[in-house]
Structure 1
Amino acid sequence: MEGYFVGWGTLALINAGLAQGKNRSGLGWFLLSLLLGPIATFLIVVLGKNQAYRE
C-alpha cells in the first residue's frame, strides 16, 4: 500500500512540471493531481498551452 502513495505523489510532481511547461500553475495542478491522479495528467496533456501568460 505504501508504494501506491509514493507513485501517486510522484505522479503529482510530474504533473506539476508538465503544467509549468504549459504556463499553468504548478502548485495548483500538484494539488489537483493529489485528488485526481491520472485524470489530471490527461487534462494537462489535452489542454493546450496557456496563452494568457506571456514571458
Structure 2
Amino acid sequence: MDESYFVGWGTLMLINAVLAQGKNRSGLNWFLLSLLLGPVATFFLALSEKK
C-alpha cells in the first residue's frame, strides 16, 4: 500500500482524538475507534453534542 494512505489515516485519528477531547469525550477511545472506522467516526463525532 501507499505510505500516504497510512499517514492520512493516522492524521485523521489524531484529529478525531483532539476533536473528542474538545467535546469532553475520551480522546483515546475515539483515537482507537478511528483506527477501525476512520471518516465514519469523524462524522459521528462532528454530529455529537458536547458533554
TM-score by length of 1: 0.88
Task: Give CA-to-partner distance per residue, 1:7-53, whole Å, 9 cap, x none.
Answer: 00000000000000000000000000011000000010111011xxx
1:9 alignment counterpart: 10
Where in structure 2 are there 5+ consecutive unaligned residues? Answer: none
1:34 alignment counterpart: 35
Number of equivalenced pairs: 50
Return the alpha-carbon distance in structure 1 between the equivalents of residues 41 and 49 of structure 2.
Answer: 14
Where in structure 1 are there 5+ consecutive unaligned residues? Answer: 51-55
User: As a proportion of its length, which structure holds more helix?
Assistant: 2
TM-score by length of 2: 0.95
Larger Rg: 1
RMSD between aligned residues = 0.5
